[in-house]
Amino acid sequence: MSSSRILSQLHKSNWNGYFRRGINQKATNYSNPILRYYEFLQSEQGKKALFVGATIFSFGVFVVKLLPQASLSQKYIQMFYQSYYSPEKVTPVTQAFGQSIINNVVQDMGLLQRQAESLKFFVGNFAEPAVFGSFAFGSVLVGYPPFFNIFSHEELPDMLKVKFGMKVGDDVPEISNIRSREGKAFRDTLYLSDDAKKFALAREMNWALDTPVFVPPAISGLAVHINYGVCRYFNFLLPFLSKSLGQRYGIYFTVSFFFYVLHKKAQDFFYNNRICKADEKAALLGSGYREGGVEYYDKLLRRNVSLRELIPHARGRRLYNLKGNPVSPLFGSRLTISQRKRLIDELEV
């Protein structure tokens, strides 16, 4: 018998009846192991197995999302972000200037000696500084972009060597675009004053100082587990187990979609609250930090506006809007760069 004939018989003898009935109704044909599996899920033992499986999966989500903040993974994070950048390009003189700025930020923030010793900085493939870890964990890794090691206009890179995009063919620079007004604007935004760099680094350190890094992973893990619990409650409250597979999957999808939106809103609410406090604390370190923050976000917006035209295949226009703010994902509600710049500008130091 051909394979197509076997599959046809399997479908006719097992699946047609299954799709028309619910799993509360006993299967009359146990030749299909999947049908026997669904019969098992109706038993008390099956329900306990589902609960344990959902708990393990939720905990796994928590661990995976928390892992980048652990000190054990920081070495691999640094290796990843340095994949497309060679730190040997930084001269000893430039390193000395950069270390001086870092020391000033640590001193202005009044960090304890043990906190300062737990800090580690590296240059990597970043568009903005980023922090991994927490002072509460005893290890903080701060990555910053290569142009933070530019301390004069003369050190700005040759735009003819700049590459935009990651797909095949994107590494061929288009001279007309790079020599355009957008190319010049992009180049100019790479130079930041010392105050702007100090603000950006202080913002990341304040994030690591005050933000409980376990909260976002916990939100994700709880969302998964509560989603499972609500679906089980609907099964108990309403006779979904006696409905067809399509009807049950419809309600499962609706509940899961609702919790996805709720999870997204909760994550964005937490992020907005913590990033506002990090921005504010960094700006209140002094008038220089506040002015540096306004400059930093202003140049970031101008850089993104330039990238709208410079990134090939019109992908830049899908990434950034006309003001330079990143295009918000579906149901996203994070503060925009323009909003954060305005909040800093309104602070009184």
- Poorest-confidence range of 229-238, 301-310, 330-339? 229-238
Binning pLDDT at 50, 70 and 90, where does residue 75 land? confident
Q: What is the mean predicted confidence (pLDDT) over 208-214?
A: 90
Based on the fold, state whether residues 22 and 79 are members of the same structural domain: no
Binning pLDDT at 50, 70 and 90, where does residue 300 land? very high
- Torsion, Cα of 302, 308, 312, 315 (10° steps): 130
Comparing 242 with 305, which gets the higher pLDDT? 305
In a domain, 325, yes or no: yes
In a domain, 255, yes or no: no
Q: What is the pLDDT of residue 15?
A: 46
Q: What is the pLDDT of residue 51?
A: 87
Binning pLDDT at 50, 70 and 90, where does residue 33 land? low
Q: What is the pLDDT of residue 86?
A: 54
Contacts of 171 (CB under 8 A, 6+ apart): 163, 165
Q: How far apart are CA 25 and CA 16, in angstroms?
A: 14
Binning pLDDT at 50, 70 and 90, where does residue 315 land? confident
Q: pLDDT of 104-118, one tens digit each? A: 999 999 999 999 989
Q: What is the pLDDT of residue 219?
A: 93
In a domain, 53, yes or no: no
In a domain, 228, yes or no: no
- Poorest-confidence range of 37-41, 55-59, 242-246? 242-246
Based on the fold, state whether residues 6 and 103 are members of the same structural domain: no
Domains in the chain, number: 2
Q: What is the mean predicted confidence (pLDDT) over 45-63?
A: 88
Contacts of 139 (CB under 8 A, 6+ apart): 71, 74, 118, 120, 133
Q: What is the pLDDT of residue 44?
A: 77
Based on the fold, state whether residues 102 and 170 are members of the same structural domain: yes
Based on the fold, state whether residues 19 and 156 are members of the same structural domain: no
Binning pLDDT at 50, 70 and 90, where does residue 153 land? confident
Q: What is the mean predicted confidence (pLDDT) over 279-304?
A: 94
Place of tokens 């376990």: 214
Binning pLDDT at 50, 70 and 90, where does residue 171 land? low
Strands (E), the chain: 119-123, 130-134, 139-144
Q: Is the pLDDT of residue 227 over 50?
A: yes
Summary mean pLDDT of the chain: 80
Based on the fold, state whether residues 24 and 87 are members of the same structural domain: no
In a domain, 214, yes or no: yes
% pLDDT > 90, the chain: 35
Based on the fold, state whether residues 5 and 108 are members of the same structural domain: no
Q: Is the pLDDT of residue 23 over 80?
A: no
% pLDDT > 70, the chain: 75
In a domain, 261, yes or no: no
Amino acid residing at 277: K
Based on the fold, state whether residues 87 and 212 are members of the same structural domain: yes
Based on the fold, state whether residues 292 and 209 are members of the same structural domain: yes
Binning pLDDT at 50, 70 and 90, where does residue 180 land? confident
Based on the fold, state whether residues 19 and 83 are members of the same structural domain: no
Based on the fold, state whether residues 18 and 160 are members of the same structural domain: no
Based on the fold, state whether residues 27 and 74 are members of the same structural domain: no
pTM for the whole structure: 0.79
Q: What is the mean predicted confidence (pLDDT) over 246-265?
A: 86
Based on the fold, state whether residues 107 and 24 are members of the same structural domain: no
In a domain, 37, yes or no: no
Q: Where in the sequence is the domain holding 23, given as residue range(s)?
A: 1-32
Amino acid residing at 201: L
CB 34 within 8 A of CB 233: no
In a domain, 194, yes or no: yes
Binning pLDDT at 50, 70 and 90, where does residue 265 land? very high
Q: Is the pLDDT of residue 175 over 70?
A: no
